[in-house]
Amino acid sequence: MGLTDHIKKIAVIGAGTMGHGIAEVAAYSGYEVYVYDIKQEFLDNALNRIRWSLDKLHSKRMVKEDVDTIMARIKTSLDFEEVVRDADFVIEAVPEKIELKKEIFKRLDELTPQHAILATNTSSLPITEIASATNRPDKVVGMHFFNPPPLMPLVEVIRGEKTSSITMRMTIELAKKFGKQAVTVAKDVPGFIVNRILLRIMSSACWLVTSGNASIEAVDAAARYKLDFPMGVFELADYSGIDVFYYVASAMAERGTKIYDCPLFKEKFEKGEYGVKTGKGFYEYPSPGKYVKPEIPKEAAEDINPVYIIASAINEAAYLISEGIANKYDIDKATMLGLGYPKGILRYADEYGLDTIVNALEELARESGMDDFKPHPYLKEMVNKGLLGVKSGQGFYRYPSYEEEKMENIIIRYEKPIAWILLNRPNKLNALSPKLLSELSTALDKIEENDDIRVVILTGVGRAFSAGADVNSFVGVTPFKATIYSRRFQEITNKIEYFTKPVIMMINGFALGGGMELALSGDFRIASELAMVGQPEINLGIIPGAAGTQRLARLIGASKAKEVIYTGDMYNAYEALEIGMVDKVVPPEHLEEYTRKFALKLAEKPPLALLAAKYAIQLGLETDLWHGEALESRR
């Protein structure tokens, strides 16, 4: 029995950008949703936007239910009382004005049932103060979604001074039922995790420019090409709106957060140059409102050391940890899922080395004369203890020593007795090109010959395991060539199925089409909660061509396999677990450690016995019981 099983009706107050998105998420997650706003036009507009978005998600097969069925769960009204009466959970998403929010919470307290939890989607206002307008501050909580809510997988759950533990747990559980990853913010600090980290990145970037150390272009090139951020720092400000950051930074400063008051942002804000929406910000956009990726040459990053961009954000993370506001896993999850970074900010810290970060902060503090760049005592203490990160084997995380061999699209990491094979085309969601497959085949051969390696873990870099066969390699190919490609791919899956060491598939994100077929050939499939799997080939007018029709049916039975293959639907990790496409689901922050532990357990077993068991089981699946038993006895 879950803590939130009684929640049936959700009320959303405010139908704007965030409100309508939150209502959509709640509705496609199966809840009855009532939405309130002050004008009919706002409500109509919200319903149109929700339908448009649901149509899109449905066409991508990310929601399976019929759009009309989901829409039927959403009711709108101008009558506040009608909306909130009987609500089990309320999410408020009105403009960021404290008096307005307090007034709303006062009325919510009067009109909703005693058990109802009242959540605010504020990004900058204090939860404790909002809660003070009610007689149930223990049931008031922050629930901060990211824009757009249906696509952004993160929710920050914030504890006000009086929020109870049970309210926190229920809100986190509900966020999970919405298909989101929740992170806990244990104290009501301005900006929570993501905005605090991001504003440090922005203020450092800004200082580098205003001090004459770098150009805007150089900073953005370093962010994109050296740190692998999805966008440059100034590009992101343009994309999300310079006005938005200006307001968030001002609200944080008003609440006492010491942060470099960046003149570049102020200047743009005062000129009304907000970025994409006005056609001009730090870059220019020919049609206002339409984002076009600014051209930033790679070479612009040559003279800039990206450590100066991230050091202050790492300092902020150290503050959050040392004050008990957030733990390291949640901080990294928040930076990956809220900002789209390929790894958590603390992983960057460990990779650059904490001594390097502390030195960079000292230099920044000295040159700028600003105290907010000074290294936090927590970081200095880590350095004093020799916890420097990857190079010392321990920083925020522990690092077993390893050696790497890099090919164009594959990395082999030898971490004896485990070998990790990393599919490394993150910008193409690790699509399986002929080149990648041939490197994978070579990697497998090398690992098989290596006596120090007992177990193999195969996974993808970035947000995908693999989104399938590279569709570009099919363009204009003859049926004959397609058959060759299919056969070669089948050979690799066979090689894995009959590999002489156990192969674990660590499904970190999308495993679609050929990506799923690759995963099917392994001995085990351990999936992150963020994984999405499926066989979407039918939507392209083809069928799985790397033994997917065969292995999937053997794994989950013919009817279920037919359902997966005929519909081409995508399944989330828990749906995949239920039908047997994966064996285990793990929160993303624990995926690597869980998989490593499992691999190490297997590595302790006698290799020849493992091999005998594997062959007896695999070959036995292809034959009758008697031959299968004979196989067993011969070994």
Question: Which range in 123-131, 313-321, 414-422, 464-472 contacts ligand COA by CB under 6 A?
Answer: 464-472
Query: Would you call 62 helix, strand, or coil by DSSP?
Result: coil
- β-sheet with 510-512: strand ranges across: 464-466, 510-512, 532-534, 570-572
Of the two residues 10 and 464, which places its CB atom closer to ligand COA in the complex? 464
**In whole angstroms, how close is the CB of 486 to ligand COA at the nearest point?**
11
Using the minimum distance from each CB to ligand COA, give the nearer residue, 194 or 429: 429
Q: Which is nearer to ligand COA, 62 or 185 (CB)?
A: 62
What is the distance of C-alpha 355 from the center of its chain? 28
518 binds ligand COA (CB under 6 A): no
Interaction between residue 469 and ligand COA (CB under 6 A): yes
Query: What span, in angstroms and rounded, lies between the C-alpha atoms of 278 and 275?
Result: 6
Rounded CA-CA distance 205/301 in Å is: 13
The answer to whether 422 and 461 have CB atoms below 8 angstroms apart is yes
Contact region with ligand COA (CB under 6 A), list: 41-49, 414-422, 468-476, 517-525: 468-476
What does the radius of gyration of the chain's CA atoms come to, in whole angstroms?
Answer: 26
Residues 6+ apart with CB under 8 A from 154: 146, 180, 181, 182, 183, 194, 333, 334, 337, 338
Q: Does 511 bind ligand COA (CB under 6 A)?
A: no
Pick one of 372, 470, 523, 569: the residue that binds ligand COA (CB under 6 A): 470
| Residue 60 is a binding residue for ligand COA (CB under 6 A) | yes
Q: Which residue, 426 or 580, is less far from ligand COA as judged by CB?
A: 426
Q: How far is the CB of 536 from ligand COA (least distance, A)?
A: 4
Across the chain, which distance is largest between two alpha carbons, in Å? 82
Return the closest-CA partner of residue 113 out of 9, 32, 30. 9
Select the span of 193-201, 297-305, 364-372, 465-473 touching ligand COA (CB under 6 A): 465-473
When asked if residue 27 is in the footprint of ligand COA (CB under 6 A), the reply is: no
Count residues contacting ligand COA (CB under 6 A)? 16
Closer to ligand COA by Cβ: residue 289 or 541: 541
CB atoms within 10 A of CB 451: 8
Secondary structure class of 607 (helix, strand, coil): helix
The single residue among 192, 245, 510, 571 that binds ligand COA, judged by CB under 6 A, is: 510
Q: Could you tell me which residues are beta bridge partners of residue 568?
A: none
Show the 3-state SS of 555-588.
Answer: HHCHHHHHHHHHHCCEEEHHHHHHHCCCCEEECH
User: Smaller CB distance to ligand COA: residue 388 or 431?
Assistant: 431
Pairing of strands 570-572, 532-534: antiparallel
32, 235, 415, 537: the catalytic one is 537
Please identify which residue in 423, 512, 531, 552 interacts with ligand COA, judged by CB under 6 A: 512
Q: Which of the ranges 4-12, 372-380, 469-477, 547-555 carries the binding residues for ligand COA, by CB under 6 A?
A: 469-477
630 is a contact residue toward ligand COA (CB under 6 A):
no
Give me the least distance between CB of 351 and ligand COA, in Å please: 24
Q: Which helix (H) or strand (E) holds 481?
A: helix 479-497
Cα angle: 391, vertex 395, 400; to 5 degrees: 60
**Exposure b/e, 534-562, CB count within 10 A at least 16 = b:** bbbbeeeeeebbbbbbebbbebbeeebbe
Binding residues for ligand COA restricted to 523-552, rule: CB under 6 A? 536-537
Q: Any catalytic annotation for residue 517?
A: yes
- The one segment of 178-186, 325-333, 424-432, 441-449 that binds ligand COA by CB under 6 A: 424-432
Q: Is 565 in the site for ligand COA (CB under 6 A)?
A: no
Residue nearest ligand COA, Cβ-based:
513
Residue selected from 90, 418, 467, 565 as contacting ligand COA according to rule CB under 6 A: 467
Nearest distance, CB of residue 63 and ligand COA, angstroms: 13
Supply the minimum distance, in Å, between the C-beta of residue 30 and ligand COA: 22
The catalytic residue among 92, 235, 316, 517 is 517
Q: Identify which of residues 349 and 531 has a Cβ nearer to ligand COA in the complex.
A: 531
**In this structure, what DSSP letter does residue 225 have?**
I
Does the footprint of ligand COA cover residue 468 (CB under 6 A)?
Answer: yes
Looking at the Cβ atoms of 305 and 539, the one nearer to ligand COA is 539
Closest CA to 492 of 541, 451, 551, 452: 551
Exposure letters 409-437 (e unless 16+ CB within 10 A, then b): bbbbbbbebbbbbbbbbbebbbbbbeebb
Interacting span for ligand COA (CB under 6 A) from 252-260, 292-300, 355-363, 505-513: 505-513
Distance, CA of 248 to CA of 195 (rounded, Å): 8
> Of all residues in the chain, what percent are helix, strand and coil, respectively (each to 5)?
50, 15, 35
Residue 348 Cβ vs ligand COA, minimum distance, rounded to whole Å: 22
CA-nearest of 19, 13, 173 to 105 is 13
537 is catalytic: yes
Establish if 471 lies at the interface with ligand COA (CB under 6 A): yes
Least distance (Å) from ligand COA to the CB of residue 434? 12
Q: Which is nearer to ligand COA, 67 or 125 (CB)?
A: 67
Q: Residue 535 in contact with residue 560, Cβ under 8 Å?
A: no
Shortest Cβ 586–ligand COA spacing (Å): 21
Residue 431 sits in the site that holds ligand COA (CB under 6 A): yes
| Contact criterion met (CB below 8 Å) for 92 and 127 | no
Positions in the binding site for ligand COA (CB under 6 A): 60, 428-429, 431, 467-472, 510, 512-514, 536-537
Q: Which residues are catalytic?
A: 517, 537
